Amino acid sequence: MSANSLAQASYDYQRRWAWLRRWLPRPARRALRACHLLTLDGMDLCLGRSRAYLVPPRWLNPIGDGDFEDTGAEFLDYFIRFGGLERSHHVLDVGCGIGRMARPLTNYLTTGTYEGFDIAPRGVQWCEENISPRYPRFHFSLADIRNREYNPHGLVIASDYRFPHEDASFDFALLTSVFTHLRPLEVSHYLAELRRVLTSGGKCLATFFLINEESRSLIESGQSSLDLSQAIPGCWTTSLRVPETAIGYEETCLMQMIREQGLTLKSLHFGNWCGRAEYLSYQDVVVLAKR
């Protein structure tokens, strides 16, 4: 599946579930999602369709939607093409989930290493049991960070969390659909932590929902898959009840935050989450470098 097809599929999916995300309480949304994924897994079983190598059952996926294999392949291309990822690089995956980005990297990082952490115990456990034994240079760890949408009872506040790694220990970092669930103080802190753990000139590829003149117009006209029209201090959300469901940032404000934390913008590629006609992926892709 092409990157444009994946982006369009994500856009369609998010529009279908927009009402549920905004009005249903978190337990009900989680239950509906689990039932939906279990049904898809059951259909595969009935039709005799087997899962590909290192692809987990859908119902185990704690966070994230879309095609597991195709999305991983899509972003590996971005890591190489826009982030300059090399086979010998030391890579940090912030919000590794259940290994959607780790899976394609197992074949690419021939001499490099990989460290991933996430707030979802189920995803980290699956990666530890299925990826690490086959690829000893791939390590996964659990971070009990509080997030009202994905880990409401976490012990650590995201704005206080120190990445469990030494200074200047990674050539490349990735955050796919992480900043889209963090508030301003948390985003600023994570950017500072990225600068700390990246080597001089190290790169980072992250995804966002960026609010600018074009995306705001599309939101107001009802074409966006996400109604990021609810204002909270420093950002926009789809839900005042649980802002972390989806968070967007003014493009100019984010660029200022990036500069304040000692990072430089290398490239910016807009997504079709808001319904724009020309795009790269579903979310906006931002590539940064350590100054």
Q: Tell me the helices (H) and strands (E) count for the chain, helix number first.
A: 8, 11
Residue 11 · residue 273 · CB < 8 Å: yes
Confidence (pLDDT) at 9: 82
Q: Please tell me the predicted confidence (pLDDT) of residue 36.
A: 59
- Domain count for the chain: 1
CATH number of 246's domain: 3.40.50.150
Query: Is a pLDDT exceeding 90 seen at residue 270?
Result: yes
Report whether pLDDT(28) > 80. no
**Percent of the chain beyond pLDDT 70?**
88
Q: Is the pTM of this model over 0.95?
A: no
Q: Which residues contact 121 (CB under 8 A, 6 or more apart)?
A: 142
Is the pLDDT at 50 greater than 90? The verdict is no
What are the helix (H) ranges across the chain? Answer: 3-23, 26-46, 68-81, 102-108, 121-130, 184-197, 213-220, 251-260
Q: What is the pLDDT of residue 22?
A: 63
- Give tens-digit pLDDT for 69-123: 999 999 999 999 999 999 999 999 999 999 999 999 999 999 999 999 999 999 9
Range 153-167 average pLDDT: 97
- Answer with the residue of higher pLDDT: 123 or 26: 123
Q: What is the pLDDT of residue 61?
A: 75
Say how many Å lie between the first and final Cα of the chain, rounded.
36
In our burial notation (b when 16+ CB lie closer than 10 A, e otherwise), range 216-239 reads bebbeeeebbbbbebeeeebbbbb
pLDDT attached to residue 52:
82
What average pLDDT does the segment 137-149 reach? 96
The domain in which residue 95 lies consists of 3-290
